[in-house]
Structure formats: structure tokens, C-alpha cells
Structure 1
Amino acid sequence: MSNTENTHINLESNRLSIQIAHPGSVYNGSRFDWTGFITKIVLDNKYSFCVPESEIPGQGSGGFGLCNEFGISTPIGYDEIKPQEKFPKLGTGLLTRPDESDYFFFDKYEVDPFPVRISKDFDTVVFNVEPVDCNGYAVKMTKTISVKDNVLTIDYRLENVGSKPIKTEEYCHNFFSVNNNRIGSGYVLKFPYDVNPKETPDVMTIKGNEIRWNSVPKEDFYCQTEGFKAVQQHYWELLYEPERTGIREYSEFEISKVAVWGTTHVVSPEVFINVDIAPGATQEWRRKYEFFTF
């Protein structure tokens, strides 16, 4: 068995080839969800989309391709505990609070990972994250990833089996480029509404519903966008015009925030959902990614 087979789960359709890292094998940090950590997406054996957060080993927080995060700004139970006590990070495990400082998603925390059961067939994999009670917080999470034709679907189901309500947020950090082409004038990011950013990075030109890049960025860029609340079905699409290839993400949930992050080699549209689950209740949502040529 190859090293890739030891560390990854492969899904195939007639057009897509997907690799998903086994929980803890490629990424074992305290920021991202360990389940559904997608490191490779190839369309028609020709177009690749997943890139690392940083091209310099050891820099960044270890993101790669499609990796989601819970609680970037609302850590569950963090303010209730003392240093050296634990708090839950959904999809990851029980994290240890090191000191009296505020939670910061980019910091590295000691992780006691949640137990995960995995079932798979040719085009679908299911991650069942078992609940572990932590100060009254406990969530059973099921994440189902499937491929069909040129579409990748991620379904989330969270059941609150604890005694306290779960209030946090989730988004997917989409570390994308097309065939490793640098971010620059060949890319355009489109939304179904005028973007209306709070601030526009110098490297961007924004007109109506489109974001373009004036040149290859020399450093990280970030902006939040407005206008999405008027949209019934939210989506964004990233096009690389020189190779006439694109990605479209449909968000089948109520949007709470939209942001765009990127740097020299990657752009990441980020669509947020508020997670609010009373004890005994369940919350479900779906993300669909379409990879295409035009």
C-alpha cells in the first residue's frame, strides 16, 4: 500500500478525482476540522484546484484545499474555564486553555482529538464524530462528502447531545487556485449581487458583482462583503479566464458573513453560517462545489 493510500481517502466520479486526508494524518493542528480535510480535487484529469495555505513549510496554520473551521471567533465554553482546563472545538477535539489570554484561532493549542468512525464507498465517505462531554457541551457530528459528475457535496448534521446550548460559527476556508497559476489579472471572482466591500485591498478592483486582481499580490489580502442578505440561494464563482476553468460554491443555508482572503498563490472566498443548537436539537446544512470549464 502506498503512503498516499495510508493517509488519504479517494473518491471518484466520471469527472472528479478527490483525495481526503484521514483525520490526524496530514493535519493535526487545533484550528481546522480534522474530518473532510480535502487536499486534492482534479477535474477531467486536467484541472487541479487545491493548494496549501502557505508555500513555505511551517508557516501559516496548516490549511490545504478545502478545510472548514468551527469557532474562529466564538470558542465554545472558553470563557467558562481556567488555564489547563479543556474546551471543545467542533470537528477537532478538546483543546486545553493554556493561560488567561483570550482565545485566538491562529494560536496552537494542545488537542485531545474526538473519536471518528469512517464509512466509505466509491463516491461517498461519511465521518461520524462521536460526542465527548466537556462541561456540559457535547455534539454528535456527521459529515457526508460525495461526488457526482462535476459536483462535490458536503453535508453537515450536528446533534446537541449535551446539557448546554451550542452557539458558534462555521465556514470553509477554500484554498483554491487553478492549476497552480498565481493570483492575478487572469482571475475573476463573481457574486450574484453587488459586492460593496467594507474596505478594498489595493491589489483588488471591485466593480458591481465582480472582483478582479490588478497584479500578483505581494502579501495577504482580506475584505468582507455586503449584499448577500437579499439573495435566496447564495453562491460565488471563481473563474480563471486564460484556461476557461472555474469553481462555483452553492451555500444551502442562511448566510451570516462573507469574506475573501488570499495571497500570492491562493484565493479563498469564505461563507459563514451561525451554529445555534439547543440541547436535544439538530442543525443541518449543505455546501455544493461545481467544477467546470466554459
Structure 2
Amino acid sequence: MTPIPRHSQIHFYKDGDIELLVEKIIFRVHKNILTLSSQFFSGMYQSATPSVEDLTAISNTGISIPRVELRGDAAPDVEKLLSFLYPNTYFEISWGDVANLLRLADKYIVETLTTACVAFLKRSYQEEPLQALKLAEAYQISSVYKESSKLVLDDFEKFFYEPRNLEGLSRSTQKKLKVQRQQYVEGLNKLYCVTVDRRFPPLTAEHLRTKFEECVKDICTFPFHSPSYSWMKLHQVDCSKHFECREELRRLKPFIHEKIVSFFGGEYELLAWTTKAPNYDAATELSYPFIELRDD
């Protein structure tokens, strides 16, 4: 026996003038809300006409309301979409919803929902960087792709330990991440080799040379530290309390920056959007390697 469709408990408005059927749930809504929100719904309403069964079911009211079945969607997801669109209901995007909402926003061309989902990812990508990277690639969100890649690269072993973690990432993105990680490891090896040979950096102050070599030994000993930690340690080498080191340290820092960039094979950046945080301090913020959303 075929289940009888039932009304949505949230979005079934008596004065609605179009019905959406999703998994045996009927949403009676308003065409003006849909057409103002979505190009897809606008075109859909213009072509929607009531079937004979629908007309029979509502003949006692004397009103014919077109009904359209939305296939391939889950009723709870459509309910959340409508809760986003309607001003009388409140819905807050979460990690449990953002993937489905981005899919619906893309499918039905709801630009305001896409914008809200992107804003959520920008606020929250640090909580789930791998998930954010997958969604950013799937929906071509270049800013989130770049920022989430920084955190994935910074904790590479954690994310790449389980092959199933990579499901949903294209081979292209996986390759970019692995290449960037390999460049980092090779950079550490180069740094270690030239340091133990005492050809880099050309320091005359024994205390400063010892300080620098301790730093290099720390970051180049397996298991390797994260790229952001290594970058911070190298750029914070300091012994300015020693008078004989001050001038040499002033000349050393730009030299370190130039060499490390050449060794690691790319630029490092702060995380975007952190400068707006209330406790932001540029001097203590970490810098990260990254990949970008583009065709290589």
C-alpha cells in the first residue's frame, strides 16, 4: 500500500499557492517567496500545473493548487531550505547541514543560501578543515579552499593517515597537497645539511650560531614538526640580550626569510580573517603553506 502524503508541520500555509512534494511530505508555500529567492523555483512555478489527482483531492475547497514533486532531495533538507527562505522561521547553518544546503543552493540557484554557507565556512573552517576543503573544491569557493588547505597541510599526517579521509577530494587536490608536503620535508633536509656543515648561516657570534643550530635541530628531527611551527621557530630566533649578537641578528633575519622561502619552495601566510579576531596579535600568529584552487 502506497503511503499517503502528509503535510509538513512547519511549512504548510493555508494561504499558500504552490505545493512541493518531497518524500511523501507536502510543503504548501508561497510562490512569491520562491520566485524572489530562486531562479529555478521561478521557472518551476510558471510551468507547474495541477494533476487530475491533485484537483480531485482539493475539489472540496474550490481552489486548484499546482503541486511539483522534488525528486532526489530529502524532506528534512528541503524543510531547512524553506526555513532559511521564510522570514517567520529561524535556521542556523551547522556542519551537519552545510553540505546538503550547498547542494540545494546550487541545484535550485538560491544565491542568498550559497552566500550564507560560504560565510559559515569562512567562520568555521578551522573546526573542520578537511571537510571545508572538500566543499570548497566541490563548489569552487577559492578563498575557503586556500585557507582550509593551510590547516590540512599543517596537520598532514593526521588527515592522510586514513585513506578514507581523502574521499571527496579530487586527485588533483590530493596531488597538490602531497607535493607541497614533500617540498616542506625536502626543505627541512636542505636546511639541516647546510647547517651542520656550518656554511649557513655565516654567523660569527658563537652564542647566536648555537641558538640557530638548536632551532634547526628541533624542527629537523623526525617526527617533523608542523610547517607553521618550523616557520615560527626560524623567524623567532633571538638572543638580542647579548650585545655582540644584536647587529648580526638584525642582518640575519631577512637572510633567514629569503633562504627558507627558497628551501621550502613557496610563500607562507597567516590564516585569513584572523586579523578581525578580538585577540589578534600579528607578532604571535602562525604562518602556513597553502595550495590554491586553479587548474595546473
TM-score w.r.t. length of structure 2: 0.22
Larger radius of gyration: 2
| Larger strand share, 1 or 2 | 1
| Larger helix share, 1 or 2 | 2
- The structure with higher relative contact order (CA 8 Å, sep 6+) is 1
